[in-house]
Amino acid sequence: MKAVFCEKLGSHHDLVTREIDSPASPKEGEIKVALQARGVAFTDVLMVKGEYQVKPELPFIVGGEGAGTITEVGANVTELAVGDAVLAPGGCVEEVVIHASRATFLPPGTDLEAAASFRGNYATALYGMQRANLQAGETLLVHGAAGGVGLAAVDIGKLMGARVIGTASTAEKLAVVKQLGADHGINYSDGFRDEVKELTGGRGADVIYDPVGGDVFDESMRCIAPFGRILIVGFTGGRAALAKTNHLLVKDASLIGYTVGGLQRHHPEWAKRNGQVLVDWLASGRIHPYISHRLPLEQTADALQLIIDRQVIGKAIVV
């Protein structure tokens, strides 16, 4: 089978696709899954460069989330069967053997490409809205709204009854943001503070979802509503911002940092409940993962380049 490896840290251009042996038949409690689609993300770019907080031992298979069909089950696996569709970790590889507890059953008819594209982004967005205690009727400002975690936040924010303002850098991206339900779109290339204030009657945004950081965070501090909450999702802009605590004090505002990894480590049952909620929402059509690019396994490096070049809207997947 084929697998895409990072054999040295540095550039995604150095990734190699190799033919390796298929995994052995699953042992007790395990399943074998033929992956049909895999999601890649900015996290994978950072891991290949050696700049992510988690540094796997070299060589490692690129990517993490995927979806496919069970082809074999080991002894004492009772809740899953051959032919079931599942979410499964594994990355850019054709087959994986994992413990059955690490797979998530997908209801019949679930789109496997959508399933492979949504889990990490939507888990990040849902947990963020929970941490911010987003309420129906509040104004949610989503930065980088055409990116994977941004579009997920738009989608979930609307599902939770918020008024959503999305920011992005091009008209094409803003069109997709509006397609996913955003009430307003702002091209933030020339700033966004004044328009946000105008759209909210001078009050500002109740919750600000910021995966960009840097100058975007600095400007967000100038258009946050009293008792507002800013979610620190990441720093795709390249600079981690420094919060001015006097601004937080004057606005009675909160700054919330969070990670899905932290939720999984410290509150695994909460993380599991969220995962099931998201699968149910996906299967019932209540959330709408957006895939802008589909590339073959051998072009995983090209998929990462599209992410670096900010060409991806929503998600790029490897099929």
What digits encode the pLDDT tens for the residues 283-305? 999 999 999 999 999 999 999 99
Tell me the C-alpha distance between 180 and 156, whole Å.
Answer: 10
pLDDT category at 266 given cuts 50, 70, 90 is very high
> Rounded to whole angstroms, how far apart are CA atoms 146 and 152?
9
Angle at 56 between CA 116 and CA 314, to 5 degrees: 30
Q: Token pair of 28, please? A: 């007790």
Nearest to 304 by CA among 12, 6, 53, 52: 12
Contacts (Cβ under 8 Å, ≥6 apart) of 310: 169
User: Which residue type is seen at 293?
Assistant: H
What is the CATH class of 124-261? Answer: alpha beta
- Which burial class, exposed, middle or buried, applies to 285 when counting CB atoms under 10 A from its CB (0-12, 13-18, 19+)? exposed
Looking at CATH, the fold of the domain delimited by 2-106+289-318 is given as Quinone Oxidoreductase; Chain A, domain 1 (3.90.180)
Query: Residue ranges per domain, the chain?
Result: 2-106+289-318, 124-261
| 50/48 Cα distance (integer angstroms) | 5
Whole-prediction pTM: 0.89
Rg of the chain, C-alpha, whole Å: 20
Residue-wise pLDDT tens digits, 29-80: 999 999 999 999 888 999 999 988 778 999 999 998 899 999 999 999 999 9
CB 185 within 8 A of CB 167: yes
* CA–centroid distance for 127 within its chain: 11
